[in-house]
Amino acid sequence: GKKLGYTFNHRNLHNVSLGQGQEVVAEQALDLAAKEGHWVILQNIHLVAKWLSSLEKKLEQHSKGSHRDFRVFVSAEPAPCPESHVIPQGILENSIKITSEAPTGMHANLHKALDNFSQDTLEMCSQEKEFRSILFALCYFHAVVVERRKFGAQGWNCSYPFSTGDLTISVSVLHNYLEASSKVPYDDLRYLMGEIMYGGHITDDWDRRLCKTYLEEFIKPEMLEGELCLAPGFPLPGNMDYNGYHQYIDDALPPESPHLYGLHPNAEIGFLTGRSEQLLRTVLELQPRDGSAREGGVGTREETVQALLEEMLEKLMDEFNMAELMAKVEEMTPYTVVALQECERMNTLTAEIRRSLAELELGLKGELTMTSDMENLQNSLFLDMVPESWVKRSYPSTASLGSWFADLLARINELETWTRDFSLPSTLWLGGFFNPQSILTAIMQTTARKNKWPLDKMTLQCDVTKKSREDFASAPRDGAYVHGLFMEGARWDIQTGIITDARLKELTPAMPVMFIKAVPADKQDTRGMYPCPLYKTPQRGPTYVWTFNLKTKENPSKWVLAGVALLLQI
């Protein structure tokens, strides 16, 4: 305060953390501060969106006639999207804005994590060596989980608000436990941090597994024996002072790469490609939307859309005749039920596609008034995006419209082939189902009926073959062959029959045909296996389908940290 010409002490400061009915307290603080020349700090104003209009009026009221030393500071979290912007324009225009950007990269994040402590912190525990080692490991863990977000779904299925508060509380818990025990309670520490401090934010089971695996790799007895590497080429430092740890980071931490997070270098390629695609998509959406032809163009917007919808209507096949299909059915097996359900879902989707395209065609000809839905459809077709009304009736997909429509026609062909006589195809295209879980459940139901086994005591066993789709002429006696799966984060070695490191620039190598069969849960072999999640799309998260155990000679934790998963679409 003195540098700015103010006489300032703690009695001149009113600090209000908003939320939970603190708005009245904030208004009283503003009134008093404006009169007496105090400072007011309003934290987390994004939590009280409905009150912000009142705050704007209050600030406008005090902008005249208030004490010359009166100041107001407000803080808010950044909005995740433009629709979530809640701070009134008047407040923004009349304020000096300061943004605090999070550091990027492991080097900056690790320094920032360590900045939360001091030499006094390092000296406050009686078990000094153990405390310092685990504290540094926790700083590295914190930097990893925060920065891993940049790798998208391969980093975390969901985005979590990990903060420095999680780290400082974890270190306080560490201090208390070490002071109360002569031995380091590794299991207790990992549980508290993995399930409560950091795990309390986590909502996805696979993300929880990832968090626990990091802690199992970073906090274990080997860390006190000088045998622990936090990352390739970065061993856990020995007993140093505070400045020594900062210097160690500068001297020993390898250059920024996915290896520092346990990921394959391909993860960075995917991350940068995604950012580039998003940038180009934004540029495309910003171009003018009038109907006139541009120099060097191929026609007007309407002509481009007209040609596209005519092509799609021509290629789109007729809907399945459900009455005829039902008449063909000789026995209503679990597989037959799945086939009929898939045909019904496909009919719903293709009917909407045909209806909306025909409606838009009439609108472009001037025979119908263009509605907002028709304009949205036109924009989507022009920008090569799947229209919203189709997405609602469709399956999860990240493809552009052209790829999506070609995929749709391929799915219809698969269903037509299957429903000719309802015999199970030699290999099933698992990615071609609206609901892949249904066919996997049908495999268990069929085996359970045949062997009179209880369904709730069964599981699926996955054997990866060395063959491709063309090598199979008929379906197996039990279970099913499935194709069309891809692996992200690693690859399948066909010769040795195990998961191995991916080749550089091969982001999602195809899997061979997989033999899926149902077995009693107690007969399943889980030794030397990596429980690999299967997702419908690279977005992961809510597109989860199943878990398959895949053979590995490496420790399964390696593949957990690498974010290895199977995908049905790429």
Residue pLDDT, tens place only, 387-411: 999 999 999 998 999 999 999 999 9
In this predicted structure, the answer to whether residue 114 has a pLDDT above a threshold of 90 is yes
Domain annotation for the chain: domains and CATH numbers: 2-94 (3.40.50.300), 106-265 (1.10.8.720), 299-423 (1.20.1270.280), 425-569 (3.10.490.20)
Residue 428, SS3 per DSSP? strand
Tell me the pairing of strands 229-231 and 234-235.
Answer: antiparallel
Which residue in the block uniquely carries the two structure tokens 């997702």?
535
Nearest CA to 74 out of 90, 91, 58 is that of 91
DSSP assignment of 46-95: GG-GGGHHHHHHHHHHHTSSS-TT-EEEE--PPPSSGGG--S-HHHHHTS
Do 154 and 161 contact (CB within 8 A), yes or no? no
Task: Please tell me the distance from the alpha carbon of residue 230 to that of residue 260, in angstroms, as a whole number.
Answer: 8
Residue 403, SS3 per DSSP? helix
Burial class (CB in 10 A: 0-12, 13-18, 19+), 362: middle
**Which residues face 516 on adjacent strands?**
462, 480
pLDDT band at 3 (very low <50, low <70, confident <90, very high): very low
pLDDT in tens, 224-234: 887 889 999 99
In this predicted structure, the answer to whether residue 454 has a pLDDT above a threshold of 60 is yes
How many residues does this entry show for the chain? 570
What's the one-letter identity of residue 91? I
What value, to the nearest 5°, has the Cα angle with vertex 100 and ends 28 and 251?
A: 140
pLDDT for position 47: 82
User: What value does the mean pLDDT of the chain take?
Assistant: 88
DSSP 123: T
What's the one-letter identity of residue 266? N
Which residue in the block uniquely carries the two structure tokens 């090569």?
384
Task: Please tell me the distance from the alpha carbon of residue 491 to that of residue 498, in angstroms, as a whole number.
Answer: 9
Do 388 and 380 contact (CB within 8 A), yes or no? yes
Average pLDDT over residues 252-267: 93
DSSP 318: P
Task: Please tell me the distance from the alpha carbon of residue 98 to that of residue 75, in angstroms, as a whole number.
Answer: 9
Average pLDDT over residues 119-126: 90
Residue 491, SS3 per DSSP? strand
What value, to the nearest 5°, has the Cα angle with vertex 244 and ends 238 and 246?
A: 110
Rounded to a whole number of angstroms, the CA Rg of the chain reads: 30
Task: Please tell me the distance from the alpha carbon of residue 23 to that of residue 437, in angstroms, as a whole number.
Answer: 49
pLDDT band at 265 (very low <50, low <70, confident <90, very high): very high
Task: Please tell me the distance from the alpha carbon of residue 300 to that of residue 382, in angstroms, as a whole number.
Answer: 10
Residue 408, SS3 per DSSP? helix
In this predicted structure, the answer to whether residue 102 has a pLDDT above a threshold of 80 is no
Average pLDDT over residues 517-546: 91
pLDDT band at 10 (very low <50, low <70, confident <90, very high): low
End-to-end CA, the chain: 57
pLDDT for position 271: 81
Average pLDDT over residues 508-534: 91
pLDDT for position 14: 85
pLDDT in tens, 322-347: 999 998 888 889 999 999 999 999 99
Q: Which residues contact 426 (CB under 8 A, 6 or more apart)?
A: 472, 473, 474, 475, 481
pLDDT in tens, 273-305: 888 888 888 887 777 665 444 444 445 788 888
Do 547 and 534 contact (CB within 8 A), yes or no? yes
pLDDT band at 253 (very low <50, low <70, confident <90, very high): very high
pLDDT in tens, 405-446: 999 999 999 999 999 888 889 999 999 999 999 999 999 999
pLDDT for position 299: 58
DSSP 510: B
Burial class (CB in 10 A: 0-12, 13-18, 19+), 418: buried
Which residue in the block uniquely carries the two structure tokens 């091969």?
506
In this predicted structure, the answer to whether residue 7 has a pLDDT above a threshold of 50 is no
Average pLDDT over residues 347-363: 93
pLDDT for position 243: 94
Top pLDDT among 193 and 19 is at 193
pLDDT for position 5: 38
What's the pTM value of the predicted model, to 2 decimals?
A: 0.81
pLDDT for position 500: 95
pLDDT for position 1: 37
What's the one-letter identity of residue 145? V
Helix (H) or strand (E) holding 520: strand 514-520
pLDDT for position 295: 47
DSSP assignment of 93-113: HTS-----PPP-SHHHHHHHH
Task: Please tell me the distance from the alpha carbon of residue 83 to that of residue 90, in angstroms, as a whole number.
Answer: 18
